[in-house]
Amino acid sequence: MKFLETNVFLYVITAHPHFGSAAKTVLQRIEEGEEASTSSLVVAEVCAWLEYHKLDDKIGLLFKILQSYLTLTVIETTYEDEVKAKDLESHYPKLEFFDRVYLAQMYRLKISEIYSNDKGFDKVKNIKRLFD
């Protein structure tokens, strides 16, 4: 199982000129049956980004994606995940708080691979970042 991070959804929804194709390939793998997880915090972050950039009309597309992939699980974000993220700051100070929450969730679920274009994950021990 792999973890699906915010930028994959954003690149597909916004048809990003440089990364949209790679992100679409990731979602196609999941559509074809690859098991993956994302989190309720990813969903919230994508929606907030879309609202901030006046793309509210794209939020429905996100939920359509989330509901259509049978092998994609949306896990709940817990307070414990957030506490762990704060603790991880000393090890990974260059990762943003949300990214450390995702990392805490991956540790909790024993997931060692993440679909993300965020190269900050390359520095995380025992985590492999995938994006192609």
Query: What pLDDT does residue 36 have?
Result: 97
Beta bridge partners of 103: none
Query: What pLDDT does residue 35 have?
Result: 97
Average pLDDT over residues 28-33: 96
**In whole angstroms, what is the distance from residue 27 CA to residue 65 CA?**
9
In CATH, the number for domain 2-130 is 3.40.50.1010
Closest C-alpha among 4, 35, 1, 31 to residue 121: 4
Query: What pLDDT does residue 31 have?
Result: 95
pLDDT of residue 109 exceeding 80: yes
pLDDT of residue 132 exceeding 80: no
- The domain limits of the chain are 2-130
Residue 35 in tokens = 């098991």
Give all strands (DSSP E) within the chain, no chain letters.
2-4, 36-39, 72-75, 113-115, 128-130
Average pLDDT over residues 15-34: 96
- Please state, as a whole number, how many other Cβ atoms lie within 10 Å of the Cβ of residue 36: 21
pLDDT tens by residue, 79-99: 999 999 999 999 999 999 999
pLDDT mean across residues, the chain: 96
